[in-house]
Structure 1
Amino acid sequence: MNDIPLIVTTDWLAEHLSDADLRIVDATVFMKFPKTGGAPTVESGKASYSKGHIPGAVYADLLGELTDSEAALPFTAPPRNAFIEKMTDLGIGDGMRTVIYDQNALVGEELAASQWASRLAWQLRYEGFGQVAILEGGLQKWQKEGRDLSTEQPSHPKAEFTGQRRTSMLATKEDVRQAIEDEQTILINSLSPDDFHSGHIPSSENVFFGSHASEDTKALATDEQLRAAFEQSGALAPDKKVITYCGGGIAATWTALLLNKLGQPNVAVYDGSMNEWISDPSCPVATNK
């Protein structure tokens, strides 16, 4: 079995749709931004998946099944056993390659970022699944190119899984506290410049997650363009550790994926992100850079 890259193109997926060792996953969650401002709302993408998805794809419910329902914060990584049980039920495990996509589902915001796909990919790698990729441009790019959709909902034999959790991929609130004063650790805030300036973790650098792909074609920026976006932050330095964060640990996984793609392996995601940080009065917040 050949290793799968971190990001695959629609051409690659079309050529490999019938591979017996390939699993395709729709991880769509809809996040809707009110026109009048305020907090976004989220809803499952299962109904949309049922109306049409990439042939062979199964649906993974990040909102209802792949988050810790007992956690105080939304989208907290679920218990390991529960996550593995769900993934292996979908046929994902040892000896399988997995491609994840979403619908770039930020309703009310014209962004091109597969952050829901990257969230599930991050969770899989965190728990030790190795052969995981996301689809460049997601379902929107697939459809723009006139490729077929299906309404069939496949099932696969239950897989086995023997991988180990990669604890270095997750950063805690205490890790972030220490990083503020640590010159060897770069904190990357993945939110928009406006959100960043309204409040961020001290010493953070801002690299907006929604600026790395074409709003029109959904194609990802070139590696040269991506390097230019991250260069000033210092996050690509080989001797640095990077912690990415956002509002709730979703967009931060997209940033982490791109850093991995550019050759920076030492990246952790602060799962609690600003949701957790601002809920603790002892955590400092900066409002200017």
Structure 2
Amino acid sequence: MTGSSPIALPDSLVSTGWLADNLTAPGLRVFDTTCFLVPDPKTALRAESGRASYEAGHIPGAGFLDITGPEFSDPSGRFRFTMPAPERLAAAFGAHGIGDDTAVVLYAADNPSWATRFWWMLQVAGHDNAAVLDGGLKKWTAEGRPVEAGAERHPAATLTPKPRPHLVVDREGVLEALAAGHCVVNALTPEQHAGTGGTHYGRPGRIAGSVNVASRDLLDPLTNAFIPQAEIEAAMRAVGALQAERVVPYCGGGIAASVTTFWLTRLGHRNVALYDNSLGEWVTDPELPMQTG
């Protein structure tokens, strides 16, 4: 795809109608990013690749990006879904046909956080010409749009890495943000935030001093599309995220929080960093403060 004329994406969030009208446009690549978190008595939630679901039915022409594999989760990382270095990400995306001139649309079968995670990884690698499909495959099929079975692998392309490591932080970055009075946002549910219910990661509750905007609550459960932008903006503003100098979103493993990074960026915030390993890392150190209630 290198050397092709890039299609102009209208926004970082595109509609099913727009995608249907532009599905065969030169320079556009579409990817299914589905993963499933399955209840497991040993690990609370087990990550299962969405490849079988993709091969059973996907948007025509779409490739598949597997976050459970070694390309997009660092196999040397101590925690699940640890983000690879920007240079490794660029090489992996290039191997799937994403080049410097490629426009990318990302979707998932159910939870859009897988698509926003890949959108953020493209940002970290330095590729800006990407969008998330609003409503994903659920909305696409509900509208009677076509799907196809099987698998597709696009020819490799060259994606020049333009690393943005500042878009991701570790626990030291979170501690620095808290000490500086920046906004740390928990994307998990209110029950998880309070420590009163839902999955926890070894210690219930939240990072002490953090606020809560649940990524779950930013979706319309009927359509799987995001709720109106004005409502999302109001939710972010209510916890001080839009007014803060810097925002660090987190969740259990850096997936749900990518919805927060995606939306804060869409709303114009230019100083947002994802806590990549999130509570999966934080809870392992008893010296790191947690709160409940």
| TM-score where L is the length of structure 1 | 0.91
Partner of 1:90: 96
Whether 1:149 and 2:147 are equivalent positions in the alignment is yes
Match of 1:134 in 2: 132
Distance 1:286 1:93 in 2: 44
The equivalent position to 2:49 in structure 1, one of 44, 53, 56, is: 44
- Structure 2 counterpart SS, 1:88: helix
Q: Name the CA distance, whole Å, in 1 between partners of 2:229 and 2:57.
A: 32
Which residue of 2 is the match for residue 29 of structure 1? 35
- Shift, 1:172, TM fit: 1.6
Q: Secondary structure at the match of 2:119?
A: helix
Q: How far off its partner does 1:233 sit?
A: 0.9
Name the count of aligned residue pairs: 277
Deviation of the 1:7 alpha carbon: 0.8
Which residue type is aligned with residue 206 of structure 1? N
After superposition, the Cα gap between the structure-2 partners of 1:84 and 1:38, relative to the gap in structure 1 and judged at 3 Å, is closer
Are 1:13 and 2:19 matched, yes or no? Answer: yes
Task: For residue 144 of structure 2, give the secondary structure of its aligned residue in structure 1.
Answer: coil
Instruction: Report the Cα offset of residue 79 of structure 1.
Output: 3.5
Per-residue CA deviation, residues 234-281 of structure 1 (Å, 9 max, x unaligned), is 1111x5210000001000001111111122121110001001001112
- For residue 277 of structure 1, the aligned residue among 275, 279, 282 is 282
Tell whether the 8 Å contact from 2:15 to 2:134 is kept in structure 1 after alignment. Answer: yes
Is 1:248 the equivalent of 2:245? no
User: Residue type of the partner of 2:263?
Assistant: L
Aligned partner of 2:83: which letter? A
Over residues 127-180 of structure 1, what are the superposed CA-to-partner deviations in whole Å (9 max), with x where a residue is unaligned?
A: 111101111011001010000001243333321122411122111211111222
| Aligned residue in 1 for 2:202 | none
Q: Report which stretch shifted further, 243-252 or 153-162.
A: 153-162
2:116 paired with 1:118 = yes
Which amino acid in structure 2 is aligned with residue 30 of structure 1? F
Could you tell me how far apart the structure 2 residues matched to 1:181 and 1:202 are? 11
* Corresponding residue number in structure 2 for 1:109: none
Q: Report the counterpart of residue 76 of structure 1 in structure 2.
A: 82
Corresponding residue SS for 1:244:
strand
Once the 2 structures are TM-superposed, how far is the Cα of residue 3 of structure 1 from its aligned partner?
Answer: 4.5
Structure 2 gap ranges (5+)? 1-5, 196-204
Are 1:217 and 2:223 an aligned pair? Answer: yes
TM-score (ref. length: structure 2): 0.90
Q: Tell me which of 95, 107, 114 is aligned to 1:101.
A: 107
Q: Which runs of 5+ in 1 are unaligned?
A: 105-112
Q: 1:192 touches 1:209 (CA, 8 Å); kept in 2?
A: yes
Tell me which amino acid in the other structure corresponds to 1:56.
G
Q: Distance in 2 between matches of 1:114 and 1:251?
A: 9
Is 1:57 aligned to 2:65, yes or no? no
Alpha-carbon distance between aligned partners in 2 of 1:115 and 1:152, rounded to the nearest angstrom: 24
In the alignment, structure 1 residue 189 sits paired with structure 2 residue 186: yes
Q: Which residue of 1 aligns with 2:201?
A: none
The one-letter code of the counterpart of 1:164 is K
- The code of the aligned residue for 2:102 comes to M
For the residues of structure 2 that align with 1:16 and 1:283, how far apart are their CA atoms?
48
SS in 2 for 1:216: coil
- 1:268 pairs with 2:266: no
**In the superposition, relative to structure 1, how do residues 226 and 57 fare at CA in structure 2: closer, same or farther (>3 Å)?**
same
SS of 1:25's partner is: strand
Aligned to 1:107: none
Over the residues paired in the alignment, what is the CA RMSD in angstroms? 1.7
Shift of 1:43: 0.5
- Structure 1, 21-30 or 37-46: larger mean CA deviation: 37-46
Identity of aligned residues (%): 36
